[in-house]
Structure 1
Amino acid sequence: MPMDAYDGVKFAFKIVSDVFFREIKVSGAHHVPLEEPCIFIVAPHANQFVDPGMVIISNPRRFSPLMAQSSFKRKIIGAAARALKAIPVIRPQDLATKGTGQLVADKESNFILNGIDTKFTQETGPRDLIVLHKTLKFEVAEVMSDTQLRLKVELNEEALQIIKDETAYKIIPHIDQSKLYEKVHERLDEGECIVIFPEGGSHDRSEMLPLKAGFAIMALGAMAENKNLKIKIVPVGLNYFHPHRFRSRAVVSYGAPITVAPELVEKYAQGGASKREAISKLLDEGYDGLRSVTVNAPNYDTLMIIATARRLYKPAAEHKLRIDQVVELNRRFLLGYKYFEKDPRLVDLAQRIKAYNNTLKYFGLRDYQVSRTQTTMYSAAPVLVSRIIKLVFLAIFGFPALLINSPLIILTLVISQKKQEEALAGSTVKIAARDVLATWKILVALVVMPLLYGFYSFLLFMYLWKHSFNHAFGLSLLVWAALPFIQYICGLVLENSIDIYKSLRPLFLSLSNPDGAAELRIMRENLSDTITTFVDENGATALSDFDIHKFDNLELKDQAESRSFLKDVKISPPNIQKWFDDRHLFNFNTDESESE
């Protein structure tokens, strides 16, 4: 069967994801209905470009994503959007314009906005938003004249302070989204699927943003129009370990489908308060569904405590866990943490975990490296020397890749950081705007990499042509086509060099400060015992399906690490593919996998 546009985009995303990520794990894909029309609700929205790609390469169904209309204007993203038959969404904030004149407060009413040289009757209308600051937006209730507006809610103290003197403003027009809902209903009526990110824009917070009601309105509206339509809402959790870093890991988790209850459809059709109640109920079900496949911590400090506790919990720490199991365990630990959040025992335990993390920072170690300091001088020294030799050997091969790609690396960093600053300045929900970094790193690389390698090939052609080489053009073209693959291999070599470099720190500590290393190991062991006891004694209280023997049948970590590279090898395509995975290609068991 020939590849169509959708398959082409999926194939392209697969290549990009294989390069950008070390490992991608998909769980729960068997939950996806293969017949009924589906609305896939995806969260958290950590990356504008990568997130849709992760859903495409992992989803057994074809779908049409909802995408901002402004994205269609970008060459690469727009071409992908049209190939996927994406449904354009007009975002009001994309149509914001600077208002004529300036605003001043009304002396008699905080519901009234006065203007100087303004043109309210021409530029604004009911339900438009007047923007005084990125966090201050007020809906227009009535346009009274060219110089006077009535607002739906009164101005607060912050707004009054801003317009105390004459101030500039922006206008965000109200958009009628009825055409959008019509297109969505048509796709669902045809048995197709759509993908929506109900948080709205991307962000880099540790928990989901409040969900917008769009997906609930779409499902209820389509089923109200077509009584025979059975729509399933499928929650999809995107769990990235380091979403903005090159060669990180990711888990795509599909949750159990949500069936839209017929009584909710009836209430929606009634309109008024019943309609709002139905939308709210389905919205809550969608939020609960997404919580079941994501890790939602109130802040990054809590997330660090949860991650450390999960690593120190002995039954889990002693077994080799897949990254999807790590994500699920983090989620369950977080549920337990929230249940016992005010318990004095947990408060004290959290403080001890923070102290342990601060001690690790002092020594410059990661938690997974602590156990590796338990070596004598005689055993550590040979390992240290051998790894330094490996590091030098691999660096010799990896350095040319770093040198050749240095223009690409520098340009990618400069542009992505600039876009990060712009996104941070224009957003109220981003913390450090790390969510835009990966997007722009990938987009810049996709454009600049072929040009850079083409430039190198052109230089080679000029050299060969100048020296009257017979096949100058053909050889240059071959080099241009082969360079990406050669650089990818060299990049993996460099990556493994970095992993070896990170593994040197515990060996240095074993040799330079054995007493400090011993105290750190004792601190870790005591904390591990305390966490394990607390979880085993109280887990069943917070989680109804808690099982103390959950890890009994999993492979022990020391057994996994002791397996030789060629032990019990079977010659088959899956094994060959595994050999060329970057974790096995150089026969070095990296530490980075455990640090995640």
Structure 2
Amino acid sequence: MPVRKKKGGRDCLFLRLSPTVLGFIFLIVPVIRPQDLAVAGQGTIQLHDRKLEPLRIVGQGTLFLKQLGPKSAIILPSKGGQVEVAEVLSDTELLIKKEVKDLKALALLSEGTSFKCVPHVDQEAVYHHVHDQLRKNQCITIFPEGGSHDRAELLPLKAGVTLMALGAMAKYPDLDVKVVPVGLNYFHAHRFRSRAVIEFGNPISITPDMVERYKIGGPEKRQACGKLLDAIYDGLKSVTVNAESYETLMMIQAARRLYKPAHRKLPISRVVDLNRRFLIGYNLFKHEPEVEELHQRVLAYNQLLKYYGIRDHQVSKTDLGRKGTLMLLLERLVYLVFYTLCGFPGEKKADAALKGSDVKIAGRDVLATWKLLVGLVLVPTLYCFYGFLAFVATLSYDMTWQWRLAVPVIAIAVVSMVSYAGLRLGEVGLDIARSLQPLVMALFDPESALVLRNNREKLSHDITEVINEYGPRAFSDFDGRQPKKKTTNKFTDFVCSPS
């Protein structure tokens, strides 16, 4: 934020879901998401007649007039999707906007199902606020996917970003809004102090024709919003890594690690760019026999690594010699014992809290967000509370006021060190524990280690040869020694008016 303000000469406001404690730290425009207001619907619903009246839904024991209204939505269970309400006729009868075609949703509505009610939320106040901020030469940061996730590709974008940009230019004719795609590419985002690459794409200009179509409304407005949304989606794809599946992404990352350009030491930003180029090249030539063969070999290599319980960068550690391997193994065992003993209190508390919780966090993106909130708010609060308890404890003893002030400070320092040891155990200790497997393999199964190293070396050579062959056909700036850095280039847009 400070760097952005210094370079751009303006503040940057974030649009995010509902205000939180972070709203007091960052400049945040709160947005209410309708699905967060969903409530369980009373009774059950089903289609009245799928063939003759596909838009009519009837309910048993329902309260449609109280719980639903025009533009509100009905969420079906078991990921059956949702339908928009067009008109509520009575407490037990309503019309939906579009015919249901999804097979899972049809099955639920044919048999009768429970449901959730999602109210319609008018976001006009948010749009007007954004328009005014753009008029004041401010930047607006938007996460257009509408939520966080850990999938291998972008989610479909929400139309809100186009309504804000086009609406601002329609409201203020002299305003020239630019949409700048910004890619957030994470490396182990769920871990503390992990790395990320932020890339900025080319600004997307909004043509006068789009604004005029937006002003007309109706189909013309939808067409203008759709055209701009497609441009934004393409811009975001240019600054993020998007794969058709998680398996494909893992294969691409493995191939990138095996690739050996002459320029060996790559900065983190180049790693992201290489991942993106690998995906583009793979999609162009994936039906070529050589590429298909390499695809299968890389997948087999990944399975082999999984079988032995090691990672690609650890394969070289199996070739240190028997004496060197034994010394390194003993050294890391000592470090692991040290971190375990120092961090045991913190880990024990965390384990007890986990066992006592009924909430399961599956997405790593959610885990990372929770860690951030805990680190910024809960941990400092707890440290201050522990210091206060230590001060209260000193009142029971006869000591000078200097010691009564010193004891809380010492208590906070001790707790901080124990917490830091627990953090280091989580970050370094687990890495050390994982690094033991290749050393054990090198000591007790050197033949398999040799086969694995030879397999990797051959695969790396073949991947490099294929890339050097097909690379020039995919990229005009390809250089087998050192690909040129792109000058322009996930999840956010900066919508801003020019200085």
Instruction: Tell me, yes or no, whether TM beats 0.5.
Output: yes
Cα separation, 1, equivalents of 2:37 and 2:419: 41
Residue 36 (structure 2) aligns with: 94
Q: Identify which of 233, 239, 244 aligns with 1:293.
A: 239
Letter in 1 for 2:28: A
Secondary structure of the 1:314 match is: coil
Letter in 2 for 1:193: C
- 1:148-175 alpha-carbon deviations (Å, 9 max, x no partner): 2122223445344324455433222222
Q: Identify which of 407, 428, 450 aligns with 1:476.
A: 407
Cα separation, 1, equivalents of 2:336 and 2:61: 69
Secondary structure of the 2:165 match is: helix
Cα pair 1:319 1:551 within 8 Å, conserved: no
- 1:436-472 alpha-carbon deviations (Å, 9 max, x no partner): 1122233345554345545654675577665634344
1:323 aligns with 2:268: yes
Cα pair 2:131 2:168 within 8 Å, conserved: yes
Deviation, 1:371, is 1.9
C-alpha change, 1:522 and 1:552, in structure 2 (3 Å) is: farther
Residue 512 (structure 1) aligns with: 444
Deviation, 1:200, is 0.6
Secondary structure of the 1:150 match is: strand
Cα separation, 2, equivalents of 1:296 and 1:197: 16
Cα pair 1:465 1:472 within 8 Å, conserved: no
Deviates more, 1:534-543 or 1:113-122: 113-122
C-alpha change, 1:393 and 1:68, in structure 2 (3 Å) is: closer
Describe how 1:186-197 pairs up with structure 2 within 5 A: 186-197=132-143
Residue 8 (structure 2) aligns with: 34
Secondary structure of the 2:54 match is: coil
C-alpha change, 1:433 and 1:500, in structure 2 (3 Å) is: closer
C-alpha change, 1:214 and 1:416, in structure 2 (3 Å) is: farther
Q: Identify which of 84, 87, 93 aligns with 1:142.
A: 87
Deviation, 1:366, is 1.1
Q: Identify which of 196, 200, 221 aligns with 1:254.
A: 200
- 1:362-396 alpha-carbon deviations (Å, 9 max, x no partner): 222211121222233244344444x24xx425743
Deviation, 1:399, is 3.8
Q: Identify which of 64, 76, 81 aligns with 1:120.
A: 64
Unmatched tracts of structure 2, length 5 or more: 486-499
Residue 369 (structure 2) aligns with: 439
Describe how 1:310-459 pairs up with structure 2 within 5 A: 310-315=256-261, 319-385=264-330, 387-388=331-332, 391-392=333-334, 395-396=337-338, 398-399=339-340, 401-406=342-347, 408-410=349-351, 413=354, 418-420=359-361, 432-450=362-380, 452-453=382-383, 457=387
Secondary structure of the 1:130 match is: strand
Residue 200 (structure 1) aligns with: 146
Secondary structure of the 2:212 match is: helix
Deviation, 1:433, is 2.5
Cα separation, 2, equivalents of 1:161 and 1:393: 58
Cα pair 2:214 2:225 within 8 Å, conserved: yes
What root-mean-square deviation, in Å, do the aligned CA atoms of Structure 1 and Structure 2 show?
Answer: 3.1
Cα pair 1:416 1:437 within 8 Å, conserved: no
Residue 522 (structure 1) aligns with: 454
Letter in 1 for 2:213: K
Residue 130 (structure 1) aligns with: 74
Cα pair 1:419 1:436 within 8 Å, conserved: no
Residue 162 (structure 1) aligns with: 108
Secondary structure of the 1:111 match is: strand
- 1:323-370 alpha-carbon deviations (Å, 9 max, x no partner): 222111111111111111222221111110011111112222211121
Cα separation, 1, equivalents of 2:484 and 2:56: 68
Secondary structure of the 1:222 match is: helix
Deviation, 1:506, is 3.0
1:62 aligns with 2:11: yes
Secondary structure of the 2:53 match is: coil
Residue 486 (structure 1) aligns with: 417
- 1:264-284 alpha-carbon deviations (Å, 9 max, x no partner): 223323333332222122111
Describe how 1:68-87 pairs up with structure 2 within 5 A: 68-69=17-18, 72=19, 78-87=20-29
Cα pair 2:318 2:441 within 8 Å, conserved: yes
Cα pair 1:416 1:440 within 8 Å, conserved: no
Residue 427 (structure 1) aligns with: none
Count of residues in correspondence between the two structures = 479
- 1:288-310 alpha-carbon deviations (Å, 9 max, x no partner): 11111111112211111111111
1:110 aligns with 2:54: yes
Cα pair 2:80 2:104 within 8 Å, conserved: no
C-alpha change, 1:254 and 1:507, in structure 2 (3 Å) is: same
Cα pair 1:112 1:148 within 8 Å, conserved: yes
Cα separation, 1, equivalents of 2:458 and 2:193: 34
Letter in 1 for 2:313: Y
Cα separation, 1, equivalents of 2:42 and 2:424: 58
C-alpha change, 1:417 and 1:359, in structure 2 (3 Å) is: farther
Letter in 2 for 1:468: D
C-alpha change, 1:260 and 1:417, in structure 2 (3 Å) is: farther
Cα pair 2:336 2:433 within 8 Å, conserved: no
Unmatched tracts of structure 1, length 5 or more: 1-9, 12-25, 36-60, 73-77, 421-431, 554-596
Cα pair 2:183 2:198 within 8 Å, conserved: yes
Deviation, 1:144, is 2.6
Cα separation, 2, equivalents of 1:185 and 1:460: 51
Cα separation, 2, equivalents of 1:334 and 1:455: 50
User: What percentage of aligned pairs have identical amino acids?
Assistant: 45
C-alpha change, 1:461 and 1:130, in structure 2 (3 Å) is: closer
Cα pair 2:80 2:105 within 8 Å, conserved: no
Residue 497 (structure 2) aligns with: none
Cα separation, 2, equivalents of 1:522 and 1:274: 61
- 1:546-579 alpha-carbon deviations (Å, 9 max, x no partner): 22221699xxxxxxxxxxxxxxxxxxxxxxxxxx
C-alpha change, 1:401 and 1:252, in structure 2 (3 Å) is: farther
Letter in 2 for 1:486: M
1:540 aligns with 2:472: yes
- 1:518-558 alpha-carbon deviations (Å, 9 max, x no partner): 111111111011100100000121223222221699xxxxx
Cα pair 1:412 1:441 within 8 Å, conserved: no
Cα separation, 1, equivalents of 2:415 and 2:180: 37
Q: TM-score with structure 2 length normalisation?
A: 0.86
Cα pair 1:412 1:440 within 8 Å, conserved: no
Deviation, 1:119, is 3.4
C-alpha change, 1:412 and 1:543, in structure 2 (3 Å) is: farther
The higher relative CO (CA closer than 8 Å, separation ≥ 6) is in 2
Q: Name segments (4+ residues, structure 1) moved above 6 Å.
A: none
Residue 20 (structure 1) aligns with: none
Letter in 2 for 1:105: L
Q: TM-score with structure 1 length normalisation?
A: 0.73
C-alpha change, 1:210 and 1:447, in structure 2 (3 Å) is: same
